[in-house]
Structures are given as structure tokens and as C-alpha cells.
Amino acid sequence: MESPFRADVLIGKVALLTGGGSGIGFEISAQFGKHGASIAIMGRRKNVLDDAVLVLQSLGIPAIGLVGDVRKQEDAQRVVEATVKHFGKLDILVNAAAGNFLVSAEDLSPNGFKTVMDIDSVGTFTMCHEALKYLKKGGPGRCSEHGGFILNISATLHYTAAWYQLHVSAAKAAIDALTRNLALEWGTDYDIRVNGIAPGPIGDTTGMSKLVPPEMNSKARDYMPLYKVGEKWDIAMAAVYLASDAGKYINGTTMPVDGGLWLSKPRHLSKDAVKQLSRTVEKRSRATPAGLPTSKL
């Protein structure tokens, strides 16, 4: 799809994306590059990174791949420093690395819980911690009087509760809290904006194939307001908006991009049934003697 943004809205920016070699992270990488940014992607699988870099470079996007695990502080430090060494600075950090699987709370091992917390929440903080000195106003390599931008990829699972997603709900709740607190502290001290995006069900992603059974699609009309699955492009466009000057006054916000799904509940009555019920109640109300409660009839 054609972008609604100018092709130069991120011109001159350098972005580092964890989990940027596949899925939503790669789409954000590609769209940032198409809008003028130079791209560094971080991941644990060299073959995935190499393939992603080749695609980005074929689009004319300056791009490098850096192998690293967000759970390891030494990897985070090395990747951030390698990005700055290669491109001269760092303007944008996107934390898109994540882990997930379906499991009931009683079958979830403490190690499984810890693994997801370490990748999602601890990994996000570790990357932010190592990137701070390059993102803050006046930091090494910064040519702007303003600070940089951090984008954390979250979810909507923890807004209420989600079946078999205790570990991920806890991790994403921590990311949202981290986003707000860093926006407050680093926005005040260093002019760094920190925001998040909470994607809904996005087609052609590992999450959809692993977490959404095919039979759920037949029930979708009952609970999805827009009755459609989102696209990776939708998340990437929200990311471009937040990273560009269009989002320069947005800080500490996690934006749900899910077609309103997080607001929804199954429809218990059809619209026709509601109309009929309303007419019945109205008739009873008109038939009730003045001053006599309907419960006494």
C-alpha cells in the first residue's frame, strides 16, 4: 500500500530495531528505511538478519544486521555501539523483540515465565539503558538540540485478561509501565520521547499462526468491531507517525492499533432483539399506573 507520509519524513535518522529481521519488526524497518532512515536490525539468528538486510539494501535502504540477544547486557551494549560506529549516531530505538506461546497458568513453569519476562520487559529496559547516552540531547553523535525517540511494541492482552497468556500479559504490562516512566524521566531530563504501540491480530505473522486457531476466524464477526485482521503495514504506519515530527508532542502513550478489538465483547442480543425488547419495556412503562413501581405489577 502507498504510504500517506512524505518519503523524507525520517530523512537523516538512524534507527536500531530489535526483532527487526522478521514480522512486524521487519515491516517497521522497511517503512522507516523507505521514509529516509538508515537501519540497523538486531536479532539472534544470523541467517534471518542476512536475508532481511539483503531485502532492505535491494530497496536502496542503508542497512546492517547485528547478531545479539536483548537479554544480555554485553550484547545490547555491543550492538548499540556498533550501530553508532557504522552510522555515526543513533536517533531511534525500536524494541520489537518478543517471546510468546500458549500455556495455561498451572502448566506455565517459572522458567517459562522468566524467559518471556527477560526477552520482553528486561530486554526492552536493557536496550533503552544502553542506548540512553546516544539518544539524549547533547549525546555523542547527536546533531540535534533535541533528544531521540524510543518505541516499544506492546500488546492489549493485559488491559483486561487473556486466556493462556499470563506470562505475556505480565511482560507487556511491565513494558507499558516502563514506557510511561521513561517518558516522564527521560522526557524531562533528556528530551527523549518514549511511546508504544499495542498491535491487535496481524495477518501473516508468527503470532497469528501460533496463537490464533483457524476456527476462531468463524467467530470473528461476533467480537471484532471492524471484522478484519490487521496488516503489518498498519503497525508500521503508526510507527512512522510516532517517530516523525507529526508525533513530536506525543510522549508516554501506548497506542492500540487493533481496530478497536480491545474494547469489544460478544454480542449477546441482535439489534432486532434489542429493538423488540425496548418496545416491550416502553409498552409496560406506559401501562403502569402513575406512582406504582413496575415491580408491584
Question: How far apart, in whole angstroms, are the C-alpha atoms of residue 106 and residue 180?
Answer: 31
Fold held by 14-266: Rossmann fold (3.40.50)
Cut 0.85: pTM above it: yes
Angstrom distance (rounded) from CA 127 to CA 77 = 8
Tell me, what's the pLDDT at 281? 67
- The pLDDT value recorded for residue 200 is 87
What are the domain boundaries of the chain?
A: 14-266, 268-297
Residue in 128, 39, 49, 48 with CA at minimum distance from that of residue 87: 39
Strand partners, 65: 41
Give residue 72's region: left, alpha or beta (phi > 0; psi -120 to 50). beta
Write out the three cell numbers for 90.
543513533
Closest CA to 68 of 98, 44, 88, 91: 44
Per-residue pLDDT of the chain (297 residues; tens, 9 = 90+): 899 999 999 999 999 999 999 999 999 999 999 999 999 999 999 999 999 999 999 999 999 999 999 999 999 999 999 999 999 999 999 999 999 899 999 999 999 999 999 999 999 999 999 999 999 988 888 877 789 999 999 999 999 998 999 999 999 999 999 999 999 999 999 999 999 999 988 877 665 555 455 555 555 556 666 656 789 999 999 999 999 999 999 999 999 999 888 887 666 667 787 777 677 766 766 765 655 555 543
